[in-house]
Amino acid sequence: MKRYNFWTLALSVMANLIAIPFPSWGQTAFPKEKQDGAILHAFCWSFNTIRDNMKAIHDAGFTMVQTSPANRCYVGEDGGMEIYGKGKWYYHYQPIEWTIGNYQLGSEEDFKAMTAEARKYGITVLVDVLPNHTAFDTTAVVPEFVAAVGGHDKLYHANGLNPIKDYDDRFECTTGGVGGLPDVNTENPLFQYYFMTYVNRLIADGAGGFRYDTAKHIGLPSDPLDEKSEKNDFWEVATGRKPVNGLTLANKDSLFIYGEVLQGKNVKEKEYSRYVGLTASNYGGEIRKALVQGSFKGVDIQSWHHPANPRHLVTWVESHDTYCNEGESSGLTDAQVRCGWTILVARAAGVPLFLSRPAGSSPENRWGNNRIGERGNDNFFHPEVVAANRFRQQMKGEPEHLRFSSDSTVVGIERGRHGLALVNVGEATAVSLPTSLPDGKYTDVVHQQSFSVKGGKLEGRMEKQESYLLYSLP
């Protein structure tokens, strides 16, 4: 018998073979060369910390790194630098001026040094941007910002200082204050020009894409108008479909742009997908459900739970919001996160994002060392994560099939006849699954676990909450 090396990192195993076709919604918003990539969300890392860890990010198999917001932001607690406490992670989500650099993450020169280092390793830098609101304290917004948009009255929607009460009401959702943050008049051409000047400067300084925070709160052409707005054209301007006062988005065809369009009732996902990639928040919820209950029973991880092209989606086990806001995902262990991550990266579609949790964190201590600017914990370069990322790159273009074990604790994601990712979300177990892999013996390189394939059936043993990646490459 042949012996094949197995880069073992987890994916899903299924009793019955299911081939999953991709719907055709038209051209994806993501550049084709980035669709098989993986994003490290360097949450609360400073620009210098990201720069200093660029080789580690590259060696871990990530092709993109997402920064926290780079804009000048509100200074709270006398400039405290705790993620939560004397300082807050969400202060850099409270813009007071659209210029590059802030006291939490570093200067514009630091940003440029970071992107220069990223280019050495072929890594794309994504920047979190948030045009939808300003700081709670409107007096903290700098005079230059106010003047650039035509005055304080032109800065906010007529409804912008009223908090949203019904998030399912599109008028309230797109013109009211999110969580009490004042809602900017994103349809004001003077604001659009001012904001796009910032975006283009980020691009000139080396940014290769953007995440648009609270994107579902920025109106679409079909949405009702605020009384201060003539047309809902922000997304046409932000994606370079039209200029504003002679200014157009730079490098628009090469940028990786996605929006935080959290799914819910009356969210216009198909219309948003015409402009930007979207977050598959419901799919992340299904992944977490399986991890928490230790079983895929009653869980659907085959469907993307989204009407958009799956190649148009950013997927995650958790986001910084699910981790930080209500701690929805903070109870997951690092091992559980790795299991979910392997599922995401082994699939043929979706662009997965890995949240870097704070250094020293645990389910019992969400904030860990609690320092803004420092590198997160070591999970992003754990051998299982690295092997899963390499598997994703090796399996480009291979068709996908999902298989589940009879007890619903193991999922196998098969990529043609060349690779299989196995993920066990439950207790240690013997596994027996149908497979298209050639007959032979396989050893995964992470755990040195042995598996055998004979007559279209794979057998072996899987430890609790571990992933295994198996290869059958020519």
Q: What is the mean pLDDT of each run of 10 residues along the chain (474 residues)?
A: 33 34 50 95 98 98 98 95 96 97 98 98 98 96 98 95 94 93 98 98 98 97 95 97 97 96 94 96 98 98 95 97 96 98 98 98 98 98 98 96 97 97 98 96 94 97 98 82
User: How far is the C-alpha of 168 from the C-alpha of 397, rounded, in Å?
Assistant: 39
Q: What whole-number distance in Å separates Cα of residue 275 and Cα of residue 322?
A: 25
Please give the pLDDT value at position 23. Answer: 39
Please tell me what DSSP assigns to residue 176: S
Domain map (residue ranges) of the chain: 27-396
Q: What are phi and psi of 378, to 5 degrees?
A: -80, 0
Q: Catalytic: 213?
A: yes
Number of neighbouring beta carbons within 10 Å of residue 3: 10
Instruction: Look up the pTM and report it.
Output: 0.93
17 exposed, middle or buried (CB, 10 Å; 0-12, 13-18, 19+)? middle
**E strands present in 334-449:** 351-355, 400-404, 410-415, 419-424, 429-434, 440-444
Question: What is the distance between the alpha carbons of residues 8 and 226, in angstroms, rounded to a whole number?
Answer: 53
Catalytic residue among 110, 213, 233, 236: 213
Q: 172, 205, 226, 260: which one is catalytic?
A: 260
How many CB atoms sit inside 10 A of residue 20's CB? 15
Helix (H) or strand (E) holding 68: none
Q: Report the pLDDT value the prediction gives residue 268, as an integer from 0 to 100.
A: 95
pLDDT computed for residue 183 by the predictor: 97
Amino acid type, 1 = M
**CA 83/CA 87 separation, integer angstroms:** 6
Q: Is-catalytic flag, 260?
A: yes
Q: Which residues of 291-323 are buried (b: 16+ CB within 10 A; e: fewer)?
A: beebbbeebebbebbbebbbbbbbbbbbbbbbb
pLDDT at residue 339, rounded to an integer: 98
Q: Quote the pLDDT of residue 180.
A: 84
CB 351 within 8 A of CB 39: yes
State the fold for domain 27-396: TIM Barrel (3.20.20)
CA–CA separation, 7 and 417 (whole Å):
15
Residue among 278, 385, 402 nearest 337 (CA): 385
Distance from C-alpha of 274 to C-alpha of 222, rounded to nearest angstrom? 13
Hey, how many other C-beta atoms are within 10 angstroms of the C-beta on 119? 13
- The sheet that has 3-6: what strands, in order across it? 3-6, 440-444, 450-454, 457-462, 429-434
